[in-house]
């Protein structure tokens, strides 16, 4: 994708703002924001301030097309410079309905037979792509020292529920069957994603376990959507003003599961599955200032009660989508690095500080 000059100028401006002394950044961001006993990180508050000034929004008035394009360009604003020492290979996953595009990310120097993460991007099922989440995929590959297979699942409104669920499961099956061709160990394959991608990863893990046979060995769930049937307290607390809004969530759900779909279906609301036993260990990252915070944490509790090994990590000072802001200050990258380190420990049992210490750059 050719980056338009205005986007390059905005990216340079953003870098300049985040390079200002803390006092100047605080003056731009405004007084500290405290909600529910949590203080919003300066990096996050400054990002929200800049978004308001530029009238940026997750869902634009023009609908699906302009909103998708804005998210694609947004990564060049907030994702930071390209992460080095990661090779990329484009793949096609054959399916009954055609070929599913995917990208394999491999950090330099990684031996054959490594762990592999099947990554499912966020964007409310409607927005987002492998391209919009290229920075996250590279970061997880580099910092986590794993191969990452990022998948271009079908999106609504062109393809409604459960098309994305079917594609996510097919991508895991492909990764398992073709592990040797991908340079991966079939016994060390994880599923993961952010937001809607976290939803698809959780559903994939449940479906694979319940059918019997190959299943993921780990789940990396970043601020996942796990219950479309209820509105919890965090959705009311952070309904507006923190980028992802309650109105956005309704818009996404209406596109993905138009009426009369059953929003209690566990393939949409994995928190409502009758049986959560036997699922793979999970890292669940939530953000304090996120409408989805409480349902993600409810899922962590439900997994733990079912005997599943879970690490719940609330980032109390951050907003939804924090893994997308790797180039904005330090705090977003720190939170995402924690998730990548958890992935690495889960798939190879160690963290080499000399490599992890480079921040995944």
DSSP 8: H
**Are 340 and 83 contacting, i.e. CB atoms less than 8 angstroms apart?**
no
- Tell me, yes or no, if 320 is annotated catalytic: yes
Distance CA(28)–CA(49), nearest Å, equals 8
Q: Catalytic: which of 195, 227, 294, 341?
A: 195
Distance CA(91)–CA(102), nearest Å, equals 5
Token pair of 135, please?
Answer: 């920075």
- Scanning 212-318, the segments in alpha helix (DSSP H) are 233-237, 246-256, 293-305
Q: Catalytic: which of 290, 294, 317, 341?
A: 290
Q: How many CB atoms lie within 10 A of CB 212?
A: 7
- Tell me, yes or no, if 135 is annotated catalytic: no
Q: How many CB atoms lie within 10 A of CB 138?
A: 25
Q: Catalytic: which of 133, 185, 320, 341?
A: 320
Sign of dihedral through CA atoms 79, 58, 191, 182?
A: negative
Q: Which long-range contacts (CB under 8 A, 24 or more apart) does 176-184 make?
A: 176/214, 179/116, 182/104, 182/116, 182/147, 182/149, 183/106, 183/110, 183/112, 183/113, 183/114, 183/147, 184/113, 184/114, 184/115, 184/116, 184/147
Catalytic residues: 195, 290, 320
């Amino acid at each position: 994708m050719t980056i338009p000059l205005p986007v390059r100028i905005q990216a340079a401006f953003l870098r300049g703002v985040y390079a200002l002394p803390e006092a100047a950044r605080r003056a731009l961001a405004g007084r500290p924001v405290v909600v529910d006993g949590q203080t919003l990180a300066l990096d996050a508050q400054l990002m929200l301030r800049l978004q308001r000034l530029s009238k940026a929004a997750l869902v634009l008035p023009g609908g699906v097309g302009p909103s998708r394009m804005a998210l694609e360009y947004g990564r060049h604003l907030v994702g930071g410079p390209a992460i080095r020492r990661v090779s990329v290979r484009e793949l096609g996953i054959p399916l009954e309905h055609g070929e599913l595009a995917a990208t394999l990310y491999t950090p330099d120097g990684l031996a054959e037979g490594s762990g592999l993460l099947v990554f499912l991007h966020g964007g409310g099922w409607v927005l987002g792509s492998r391209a919009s989440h290229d920075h996250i995929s590279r970061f997880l590959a580099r910092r986590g020292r794993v191969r990452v297979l990022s998948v271009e699942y079908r999106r609504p409104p062109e393809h409604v529920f459960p098309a994305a669920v079917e594609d996510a499961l097919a991508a895991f099956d492909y990764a398992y069957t073709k592990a040797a061709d991908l340079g991966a160990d079939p016994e060390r394959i994880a599923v993961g994603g952010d937001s809607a991608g976290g939803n698809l990863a959780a559903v994939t893990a449940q479906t694979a376990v319940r059918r019997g046979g190959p299943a993921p060995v780990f789940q990396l769930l970043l601020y996942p959507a796990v219950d479309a049937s209820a509105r919890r307290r965090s959705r009311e607390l952070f309904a507006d003003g923190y980028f992802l809004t309650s109105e956005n969530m309704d818009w996404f759900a209406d596109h993905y599961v138009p009426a009369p779909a059953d929003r209690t279906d566990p393939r949409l609301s994995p928190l409502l599955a009758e049986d959560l036993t036997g699922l793979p260990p999970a890292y669940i990252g939530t953000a304090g200032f996120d409408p989805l915070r409480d349902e993600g944490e409810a899922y962590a509790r439900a997994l733990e009660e079912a005997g599943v090994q879970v690490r719940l990590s609330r980032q109390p000072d951050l907003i939804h989508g924090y893994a997308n802001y790797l180039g904005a200050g330090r705090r977003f990258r720190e939170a995402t690095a924690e998730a990548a380190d958890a992935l690495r420990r889960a798939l190879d049992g160690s963290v080499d500080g000399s490599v992890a210490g480079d921040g995944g750059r």
